[in-house]
Chain A
Amino acid sequence: MTAPPKMRDLAHRLLAYEAGAGKTSEPAESATLRVYEKLRQSLGEFVGVAGFQSLASRALTLARPEAPGLSAARVTEDGYLQGLGEIENQFDTDKDRAGEGGIILIARLLGLLRIFLGEALTLSLLRNAWPGEAFDDRNSAHGRKA
């Protein structure tokens, strides 16, 4: 079973947003890691380090069959994501594949949140982490404004 399209779309948008932001501020860090870090900080506040670590590990496990390149990635005990940089470097020559593993991982993480908390609450949490981004349905993949 693959990540739901809606969650993939949402993950894609977050990565695109961070990729844009990263060009000027922190170019060395991948967009996936930036999204992941924001989620870790935002979710970690209310689920705790252990709570986030559990969710992220589950998301990674679910993402691996879709993105075998994630096999080297791991979630540390304190919830950080390791081994993603090397994977993304492998795809560097192919722009379409670049970040695909990251999108799947983030989509799986968002999917878990949606399963546990529901869409409304998940989007509320994302709005808090990305105050400048709109997350309503009109901006989804099937009806995006721009």
Chain B
Amino acid sequence: MSTQDKVKINKLPTGVPGLDEIVGGGLPEFSFNIIAGAPGSGKTTLAHQFVFANATPERPALYFTVLGESAIKMLRYQQQYTFFDPAKLPGAIRFINLSQVVLEKDLGAVLEQITKEVEKANPAVVVVDSFRTMVRKPQSDMDLQSFIQRLALFLASWQATTFLIGEYAEDELRDNPIFTVADGLFWLRQTAERNSIVRKLQIVKLRGQDSVPGLHTFRITDAGVQAFSRTFGLTGHAKNPPSHRRLSFGIAELDKMLGGGVREGDSVLVAGSSGTGKSVLATQFIAEGIRHGEPGIVAVFEERPQAYAERATSLGLDLETPQKDGKLTILYLRPLDLSVDETMHSILDAVQKIGAKRLVIDSLAGFEMALSPGFRADFRESLYRMIFALTGIGVTILSTVEVDESFTEFPFSTYSISFLTDDIIRLRYVSIDGQLRKIMVVIKMRGGNHAKDIREYEITDKGVVILGKRLTNYQALISGIPVYSERSDLTEKPSLDAGIEHKT
């Protein structure tokens, strides 16, 4: 059978920001779906969003309420959401109460009532809320299975896209005839993590659709449910071919150390202890990009955007003008209850909005602290997904990370994230001639040669300035306590570890 002969399944908008991408572009028309989850997990709100997004006076939505929340209270609360349009009731959206039929009669009568209403209204969307309360009445499994199958068959034949809403526990997922019949199964979870609530959504099944697997974070705001895809909405984006272009830091000596600059689309980690100039380096990187017409995003967690811009001014870098011109966005992400995916979506939105080519995350420690405790466990995994997604579309990312100085080890980061990065620049203090001076070394550059030199630098009113040539008269510089040596033959040999343990 050729592609032309195959039936085309229309995809309906879910009305839930972020969910269309998760379900593979929209909900299959005429599908029979179940939204399951514990009370308060957002099932009804999600169904309402779908209903309001799809119901029209010509093809209305029928919303059957059963024994759960009363329709009056449901509407009272639901109309607080911005998606709720009262003008759609009752012409395009009709609420029909089935409680009496359910209480007084059997499932056959319920099916008859639904059938009657559907035949009368010719709806595009049918919701039964809560379906679970309807089937809790004692009845044989055969009755229930037969009812579900007849209901699914009838609603599909009448070209209705259906949602059954039910309170289900995780252990009910197996061997349940309802889930077998359903085309789509949406599972909503909410769990308490320390003092925060973490909401997650899973598309357990969705026939005929290439949905994104796994657990996706969602949030309920005054706009209703908003979902955050694990793939950050970049599933359909073509990956950029590897670039050979080098991006400058605006520091000629550092660019040389990097073999001509950072490769476009790389993820760069700048690691060092407090005060070593990580943020200064990051600011110079973003400012140099803007100077070359490359819009940038700075995500800050430890200081406010105004303070960040003012500090840049003290280095002779103007971040105010590019912000006004839409070439730079400084994002301040500090609410302590964010999900990691939500935070990353904020960054992605900003990147896409201004077409950013460079992104600075300053710092990873601040980023992690801004998250709800429950999401910190997923931090590395989520960071990996974001870096992979963004670098794939050609954005170059520079992240700063603070590391504790040690005189026995030379850790690259406290996050064990060096595997996520293409390039690592390590900054550290070193004790020389009775002074606490600073050295810089390029630890790693994936896919390119880089200098092995350890260079001394200073932070001046022009930013990071690399001094002279490499320090050749010292051994064990990376230990922080180098040993002075006047041996001239050492000048041509790299003075790397001297027995110091490397940690990543």
A residues adjacent to B (C-beta < 8 A): 44-51, 55, 116-118, 120-121, 124-125, 128
Contact = CB atoms under 8 A, between A and B. Distances in A.
Nearest to B63: A46
Contacts of A117: 72, 75-76, 79
Interface stretch (B82-90, B401-409, B477-485): B82-90
Contact of B86 (A45, A49, A50, A118): A118
B275 interface: no
A124 B97 contact: no
A45 B99 CA distance: 10
Contacts of B87: 120, 124
Interface residues of B, number: 20
Nearest to B85: A120
B56 to A, nearest CB: 15
B446 to A, nearest CB: 59
Interface of B is mostly: mixed
A17 B377 CA distance: 65
Given A45-B94, A46-B71, A46-B94, A121 B89 contact: yes
A45 B96 contact: yes
A47 B97 CA distance: 6
Interface of A is mostly: helix
CB-based closest 8 A-B pairs:
A48-B97, A46-B95, A120-B86, A121-B86, A48-B99, A128-B90, A46-B71, A124-B89
Contact of A116 (B65, B76, B86, B98): B76
A46 B96 contact: yes
Q: Most chain-B Cβ atoms within 10 A of its Cβ — which of A45, A46, A116?
A: A46
A49 B419 CA distance: 64
Contacts of A124: 86-87, 89-91
Given A50-B99, A117-B76, A124-B86, 12 more contacts: A46-B95, A46-B97, A47-B70, A48-B71, A51-B71, A51-B72, A51-B97, A55-B72, A118-B79, A121-B86, A121-B89, A128-B91
B97 A45 contact: yes
A120 B76 CA distance: 11
B426 to A, nearest CB: 61
Contacts of A46: 65, 71, 90, 94-97
A50 B79 contact: no
Given A124-B89, A128-B91, A48 B75 contact: no
B128 to A, nearest CB: 14
B40 to A, nearest CB: 21
B493 interface: no
A40 to B, nearest CB: 13
